[in-house]
Amino acid sequence: MFDSELTVLEQRVLGCLLEKQLSTPDTYPLTLNALVNACNQSTNRDPVLALDEAAVMAALQDLRDRQAVWFVGGAGSRVQKYDQRVAETLGLSVQECAILAELLLRGPQTPGELRTRSSRMYVFPDLQEVETVLDLMMEAERPLVAKLPRQPGTKETRYAHLLGGTPATPAVQPVPGPSRMAQLEGELAALREELGRLRADFEAFKGQF
């Protein structure tokens, strides 16, 4: 199904199908128009996109070729609709679908963020369940999630999906070494000294009047 990486557009389309199946089951499967609107939502999306029907349709065709999407209806129906089949093929639970959808739609997140933001699809009773599901998704025969290295200054670990390949790790800004710190301190001292002289000159100038 996923013998190669999904593009950003394919990730958005698949994420929307997973999301809407859980959050608005009464209007699922989605029409092309509904799917375009879902892809372009300004909420629960990062980044916010502005896709047209042609772009979404091209992504749907690619996902169908991967057997990740069904085309429902056709000649006998008033309008064709689209349905994801990832959950069935990979045997994903509702909890796994909610987390995967959230990661596809908004990128890497902490367990706390996933619990809060996925509540429209599934209400996790506590943080432990989120972490348990993430562990299952990492330990699956075909891992769907990876734990990202913790960034300096952050307390929580973030998780990312693997359908777009290995997630990029943000570059860590180098910490100035001792010599650089000494140089900066010297420059600061010189600036302070110069400021002191300027203030003294200004006071002397005022004293002339």
How many structural domains are present in the chain?
Answer: 2
Residue 190: its H or E element: helix 178-206
In this predicted structure, what is the pLDDT of residue 37? 98
Among 152, 137, 61, 153, residue whose Cα is nearest residue 102:
137
Instruction: For residue 111, tell me if it sits in a domain.
Output: yes
Same domain membership, residue 13 and residue 54: yes
151 in helix, strand or coil? coil
Whether residues 82 and 147 share a domain: the answer is: yes
Within-domain flag for 2: no
Do 110 and 28 belong together in one domain? yes
Pair (129, 151) in one structural domain: yes
Whether residue 83 is contained in a domain is answered as yes
- Give me the sheet containing 69-72, strands edge to edge: 30-31, 81-84, 69-72
One domain for residues 156 and 81 = yes
Instruction: Identify whether 122 is part of a domain.
Output: yes
Write the pLDDT tens digit of every residue in 18-73. Answer: 999 999 999 999 999 999 999 999 999 999 999 999 999 999 999 999 999 999 98
- The answer to whether 32 and 17 are in contact (CB under 8 A) is no
One domain, residues 196 and 150: no
How far are the Cα atoms of 35, 84, 121, 163 from residue 68, in angstroms, in the given order?
A: 15, 6, 20, 12
In a domain, 1, yes or no: no
Over the stretch 133-142, which tens digit does the pLDDT of each residue have?
Answer: 999 999 999 9
What percentage of the chain carries pLDDT values higher than 90? 70
Residues 149, 194: one domain?
A: no
- pLDDT tens per residue, range 126-175: 999 999 999 999 999 999 999 999 888 888 899 999 999 887 654 444 44
Whether residue 108 is found in the same domain as residue 182: no
Do 129 and 49 sit in the same domain of this protein? yes
One domain, residues 57 and 134? yes
**Does residue 168 lie in a domain region?**
no
Question: What's residue 75's pLDDT?
Answer: 56
- pTM check: above 0.75: yes
**Structural domain of 194:** 174-209
- CATH number for the domain harbouring residue 151: 1.10.10.10
| φ, ψ dihedrals at 73, nearest 5° | 90, -150
